[in-house]
């Protein structure tokens, strides 16, 4: 599955907001840019 959105600090703003703290710190030059990532697994808690 591919997810795309705006990297806004430590949050990937997409159809829902994802915690992207790892991406933000590993690739700070992507901040405030539209990115797409391939997702292997999403854990959901209710």
Q: Give the residue extent of every domain in the chain.
A: 2-38
Side by side, the strands of the sheet bearing 2-8 are 17-19, 11-13, 2-8, 34-38
Please tell me the predicted confidence (pLDDT) of residue 29.
93
Per residue in 13-27, pLDDT (tens digit) is 998 898 888 888 999
Please tell me the predicted confidence (pLDDT) of residue 12.
93
Q: Which pair of structure tokens corresponds to residue 23?
A: 């991406």
Residue 38, beta-bridge partner list: 2
Share of the chain above pLDDT 70, in %: 100
CB within 8 Å of 21: residues ≥ 6 apart: 10
């Amino acid at each position: 599955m591919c997810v795309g959105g705006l990297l806004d600090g430590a949050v990937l703003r997409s159809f829902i907001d994802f915690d992207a703290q790892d991406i933000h710190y590993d690739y700070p030059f992507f901040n405030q840019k539209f990115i797409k990532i391939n997702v292997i697994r999403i854990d959901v808690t209710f």
